[in-house]
Amino acid sequence: MTKDAAPVSVIIVSRHRGQALRLCLLALAQQDFPAFEVIVVACPQGIAALQTLPFAGALKVEAFDRPNISAARNLGLGLAAGQVVAFIDDDACAEPTWLSRLVQPVLDGAALASGGFVRGRNGISLQWGAKAVDACGRDRALQIDGTAVAILPPPPGGAIRTEGTNMAFDRRTLLEIGGFDPAYTFYLDETDVNMRLAAVGAFTALVPLAQVHHGVKPSSRRSADRAPRDLFDIGHSQMVFLRKHAPAAQHDAALADLRVQQRKRLIRHLIGGGLEPRDIPRLMAGLEAGIAAGAVLPLAPLPPLTTQPPPFAPLPGTGPRPGQIIVGWAWARRRLADRARAMRAPGPPESPVFETSARAPIVTLLCLSPTWRPHRHVFHPDGYWLQTGGLWGRSDRATPVPLRQTLRTRTAIEVARLRPLRP
């Protein structure tokens, strides 16, 4: 079965991040996949933010304002009418080819789960790539081709990991294993699904070119610089995960590793200025409280989920469309931005309504300065992709930049880097 013959559902959970949710949805409206619906499970703030979008009436929306991502995702599953369900976080923006690439292995029947790669806050550096996970929840990197799809069986005693902000599953299979376990309010929730799918022998596809940009916006659990505000949920989820998947003899060592890992994380943020010395004992005490609570939480097998979703509701105007790149110097940024906005918006520059039809191109604005500033690549609220930085600054941190180059040659380098991801 091909992507043109089967519907897909995209589920987004959002809580107290309305503007990030709106940006995520604007990027989704530019997907080249022709038949997908979008389900938003959000707090009142998020629901109010999405109402400003021209396609708000086409979204399936469920109100939910409790800090439990697993319960929220299960609510989204209850509304999903697609053969495949994909998940993206509200603080992520998807490349235009993301969904097509991510769901194809599942639609083809080659795998029951699929995961893509994630770019970090600068939109260029890799945040998450190919990983496997063991019964204690510990990751290890996998070496796979950086462009080809890898269809992988579950490793002994573990699973192929998919990241919560970039993953897809066969809907029927996900319902049969009970969906997401509400015992995980946050952290390891998707990894628990990976382990349960591995237990039934499910193959997982890793799709390097199915990419999202993950901005990591602040939340009740972390600040804008990713410094943790509370470690209770991490301790709680780790303990639940161990009880469900690891032999009891391995629990103490795994918890010791967790304590060392989290303390090192806190020290890094202390050195970086994101935490104060008095924060360390408070946060570590929260971790211990979470571990203790997870140790006594009643656990029971998850029954299959049964759903009666409303009819499939495709997002209008999606599908393949051309690409357009605009290039210029930083001192002309306002004029270049007006041009990019005009290509995306049918009205005047201040209009809040954006073109969602397939006629509007995918616009990328490359705005450089004659400096060595590192590059940053983001999806702009006006509906276009924006890359800024110096003519001699690095974009790919692993690749040196020639010192002698013109705007034309640097444009060619960046276009070649982006070509596999967007038109």
Instruction: Measure the CA–CA gap between 275 and 284, rounded to whole angstroms.
Output: 13
* Segment 197-219, tens digit of pLDDT: 999 999 999 999 999 999 766 67
Q: What is the pLDDT of residue 350?
A: 40
More confident: 98 or 2: 98
Q: Which of 227, 218, 226, 215 is nearest to 91 (CA)?
A: 215
pLDDT at 400: 73
357: pLDDT strictly greater than 60:
no
- pLDDT attached to residue 398: 75
What is the pLDDT confidence band of residue 10, given thresholds at 50, 70 and 90? Answer: very high
Q: In whole numbers, what is the pLDDT of the chain averaged over residues?
A: 92
Gap between the Cα atoms of 342 and 363, Å rounded: 10
Specify the pTM.
Answer: 0.93
pLDDT value at 354 more than 70: no
- Say whether 71 sits in a helix, a strand or coil: helix
Does residue 147 register a pLDDT over 60? yes
| pLDDT of residue 18 exceeding 80 | yes
Q: Are 418 and 375 in contact (CB under 8 A)?
A: no
The helix/strand/coil state of 303 is: coil
Q: How far apart are the first and last CA of the chain?
A: 24
Q: Which residue has the tokens 């699973």?
A: 159
Q: How many CB atoms lie within 10 A of CB 353?
A: 11
Q: What integer pLDDT is reported at residue 405 of this predicted model? A: 85
Going by the DSSP 8-state scheme, the letter that residue 381 receives in this structure is T
pLDDT tens-digit readout, 379-414: 999 999 999 999 999 888 777 776 678 999 999 999
Is there a contact between 91 and 16 (Cβ–Cβ < 8 Å)?
Answer: no
- Please, what's the b/e burial string for 195-208 (b: 16 or more CB within 10 A of its CB; e: otherwise)? bbbbeeebbbbbbb
Which of 139-148, 190-199, 218-227, 287-296 has the least mean pLDDT? 218-227
Which uninterrupted H or E stretch holds 258? helix 251-272
152-181 residue pLDDT tens: 999 999 999 999 999 999 999 999 999 999
Closest CA to 282 of 231, 213, 320, 241: 231
Q: Which amino acid, one-letter code, is at 327?
A: V
More confident position, 58 or 346 = 58
Average pLDDT in the 292-316 region?
A: 96
- If we measure between CA atoms, which residue out of 346, 337, 352 comes closest to residue 317? 346
Beta bridge partners of 114: 168, 205
Which pLDDT value is given to residue 351?
42
Largest CA distance in the chain: 65
Alpha helices in 123-225 (DSSP H): 171-176, 189-199
Is the pLDDT at 1 greater than 50, yes or no?
no
Give CA–CA dist 144/124, Å, rounded: 19
How far is it, in rounded angstroms, from Cα 377 to Cα 395?
A: 9
Domains of the chain with bracketed CATH = 8-214 (3.90.550.10), 232-296 (no CATH), 323-418 (no CATH)
Going by their DSSP bridges, the two strands 8-14 and 36-42 should be labelled as parallel
The residue ranking higher by pLDDT, 346 or 83, is 83
Alpha carbon distance 42, 66 (integer Å): 9
Contacts with 199 (C-beta within 8 Å, 6 or more apart), sequence order: none
**Whether residue 252 has pLDDT greater than 90:** yes
CA 39 to chain centre: 15
DSSP string, 159-186: EE--BTTBEEEEHHHHHHTTSS-TT-SS
* pLDDT of amino acid 352: 42
Query: C-alpha distances in angstroms, 381 versus 243, 341, 349, 368, 385?
Result: 43, 10, 12, 19, 9
Mean pLDDT of 81-85: 97
- 192 Cβ neighbours under 8 A, 6+ residues apart: 180, 181, 184, 241, 244, 245
Distance CA 71, CA 322 (A): 38
Band (pLDDT 50/70/90 cuts) for residue 345 is: low
Q: Return the axis-axis angle of helices 189-199 and 232-245, rounded to nearest 10°.
A: 10
pLDDT over 70 at 373, yes or no: yes
Banded pLDDT at 227 (limits 50, 70, 90): confident
Whether the per-residue pLDDT at 356 is higher than 60: the answer is no
Please report the pLDDT score of residue 386 as a whole number: 98
Does residue 13 have a pLDDT over 70?
yes
Percent of the chain at pLDDT exceeding 90: 85
pLDDT (0 to 100) of residue 221: 74
Q: Which of 176, 105, 96 is nearest to 362 (CA)?
A: 96
Is the confidence at residue 264, as pLDDT, over 90? yes
Report, as an integer, the average pLDDT of 186-193. 96
